[in-house]
Amino acid sequence: MSVFDDLVLPNGSRMPNRIAKAAMEENMADGSQAPSERLMRLYQAWADGGAGLLITGNVMVDSRAMTGPGGVVLEDDGQLDKFERWAAIGRTSGTQFWLQINHPGRQMRANLGQQTWAPSAVSLDLGSSSKLFDTPKAMTQSNIDEVIARFARTAQLGERAGFTGVEIHAAHGYLLSQFLSPLSNRREDEWGGSLVNRARLLLEIVRAVRAAVSPGFAVAVKLNSADFQRGGFSAEDAQRVVEMLNEEDVDLVELSGGSYEAPAMQGKARDGRTLAREAYFLEFARDIRKVANMPVMVTGGIRRREVAEQVVEAGVDMVGIGTALAINPTLPNAWLAGRDPAPTLPPIQWKNKAIASLANMAVVKHQLRRISRGRVPIPYVSPVRALLQQQVCDIHRTRQYRHRMAQRLE
């Protein structure tokens, strides 16, 4: 088995190879929260780069609930023409192109000025940085029903625009991950308590999305292999949730890990575990693969073909690559041509782990901005410079977002 073998999904659609461009937080929407020209150019580079699957960064199901002020929103058909262009660009080389659809829950910065929802009124624990996030409001049944409907509507619009699938984001501490974790979900109704109850929202959304799209449209789930926090969502919990997903029409499960509180997706944990330097979550993926009826994809730290091939040889169906494709968007083509570059970023060893995590994300976004302008990435950019640039950009985008949301209330 090789990463360049094709893969047929349960819905009958075909991946031309087993390399996926995993989702990254681009924050490159235009002023109306639709895909911008720069975002289109970025995805053209990836579409030409040889990956069999492209997964977008977060596409939000609600403009009031954002992971960042420059995020893309698809909640109605007002700007569907821009999404149609984006979908056509992503599919230019026969690549599958999926929307990652998401709701942040409590992981939305307070300065965006919106009410934060979560399963329970439990604040983020980020030490001195906790003040950047409001204490969330515990969701009512009406809120839950609305979120389910919004995920289904966004998926339906994505299919109309020409995307070939969606990935429901239930990892990295966002809303669906919050429901899965006993640390953030302290409800005592049918949406909390046992794992069956904590997984109920994810399963209801999967069912609603599947009912809203055609059988040939892919429906995938991104799931934490673990939260990497003591007392949180565990590897055993992840296996049980995958067994529940076996009963639904799910075409692929992507495994990652962590959250804002424990950014294991960047190779860091808060539960004492040491993560591998590459393929952070491969051990967990092997265990999940034993119980999963659908294909499994693993994402986290992979940058060399040798490691990618080891992942596939271990029985995992697809390899998700993020940061390495932010540094070299044509990496799959290089591998196919017999070259094996290993794009990497210098590690950021700062004492404040929350700030170090933000700096790491800023360095990645710096590469994405350069590609979107037709420039060559610079992996050795100063993390201080990248973080300051990102903060200036975020300040501008936050003002723009707040102004837009205020106009909607007039």
pLDDT for 327-363, tens place per residue?
A: 999 999 999 999 989 898 998 988 887 788 889 999 9
Q: In 3D, which of 254, 256, 255 has the Cα closest to residue 266?
A: 256
> What is the C-alpha to C-alpha distance for residues 59 and 42, in angstroms, rounded to an integer?
16
Model confidence at 409, pLDDT cuts 50, 70, 90, reads confident
What pLDDT does residue 279 have?
55
Model confidence at 271, pLDDT cuts 50, 70, 90, reads very low
As a whole-number percent, the residues of the chain with pLDDT over 90 amount to 78
Which token pair is 40? 């289109």
**Span 292-309, average pLDDT:** 92
> What is the C-alpha to C-alpha distance for residues 193 and 187, in angstroms, rounded to an integer?
6
Distances (CA, A) of 140 to 112, 158, 189: 22, 27, 11
What pLDDT does residue 342 have?
87
Q: Is the pLDDT of residue 122 over 60?
A: yes
What pLDDT does residue 355 have?
85
Residues 153-196 pLDDT 10s: 999 999 999 999 999 999 989 999 999 999 999 999 999 999 99
**Span 19-42, average pLDDT:** 96
Q: Is-above-0.85 flag for pTM?
A: yes
> What is the C-alpha to C-alpha distance for residues 410 and 407, in angstroms, rounded to an integer?
5
Determine contact, residues 201/145, Cβ cutoff 8 Å: no
What are residue 100's DSSP bridge partners?
Answer: 58, 167
Look up the CATH architecture of domain 7-345: Alpha-Beta Barrel (3.20)
Backbone region of residue 365 per phi and psi (left: phi > 0; alpha: psi in -120 to 50; beta: other values)? alpha
What pLDDT does residue 354 have?
75
Model confidence at 383, pLDDT cuts 50, 70, 90, reads very high
Model confidence at 301, pLDDT cuts 50, 70, 90, reads confident
Model confidence at 228, pLDDT cuts 50, 70, 90, reads low
Mean pLDDT, the chain, whole residue set: 91
> What is the C-alpha to C-alpha distance for residues 19 and 33, in angstroms, rounded to an integer?
29
What pLDDT does residue 40 have?
98
What pLDDT does residue 41 have?
98
**Span 213-241, average pLDDT:** 86
Backbone region of residue 120 per phi and psi (left: phi > 0; alpha: psi in -120 to 50; beta: other values)? beta
Q: Is the pLDDT of residue 230 over 80?
A: no
Q: How open is the CA angle 330-333-338, to the nearest 5 degrees?
A: 125
> What is the C-alpha to C-alpha distance for residues 300 and 219, in angstroms, rounded to an integer?
21
Residue 69 phi, psi (nearest 5):
-70, -20
Model confidence at 270, pLDDT cuts 50, 70, 90, reads very low
**Span 300-320, average pLDDT:** 91
Query: Which residues make Cβ contacts (< 8 Å) with residue 158, sequence separation at least 6?
Result: 59, 74, 83, 87, 99, 101, 166
Q: Is the pLDDT of residue 410 over 80?
A: no
Model confidence at 389, pLDDT cuts 50, 70, 90, reads very high
CA dihedral 286, 299, 344, 310 (to 10 degrees): 30
Q: Is the pLDDT of residue 85 over 80?
A: yes
What are residue 169's DSSP bridge partners?
Answer: 222
Helix pair angle (353-372, 37-47), 10° resolution = 90
Q: What residue ranges do the domains of the chain occupy?
A: 7-345
What pLDDT does residue 233 have?
84
Q: How open is the CA angle 330-311-362, to the nearest 5 degrees?
A: 50
Q: What is the 3-state secondary structure (H, E, C) of the chain?
A: CCCCCCEECCCCCEECCCEEECCCCCCCECCCCCECHHHHHHHHHHHCCCCCEEEEEEEECCCCCCCCCCCEECCCCCCHHHHHHHHHHHCCCCCEEEEEEECCCCCCEHHHCCCCEECCCCCCCCHHHHHHECCCEECCHHHHHHHHHHHHHHHHHHHHHCCCEEEEEECCCCHHHHHHCCCCCCCCCCCCCCHHHHCHHHHHHHHHHHHHCCCCCEEEEEEECCCCCCCCCCHHHHHHHHHHHCCCCCCEEEEECCCCCCCHHHCCCCCCCCCCCCCCCHHHHHHHHHHCCCCEEEECCCCCHHHHHHHHHCCCCEEEECHHHHHCCCHHHHHHCCCCCCCCCCCCCCCCHHHHHHHHHHHHHHHHHHHHCCCCCCCCCCHHHHHHHHHHHHHHHHHHHHHHHHHHHC
Model confidence at 268, pLDDT cuts 50, 70, 90, reads very low
What pLDDT does residue 262 have?
55
What are residue 20's DSSP bridge partners?
Answer: 53, 320
Residues 243-263 pLDDT 10s: 999 999 999 999 987 656 555
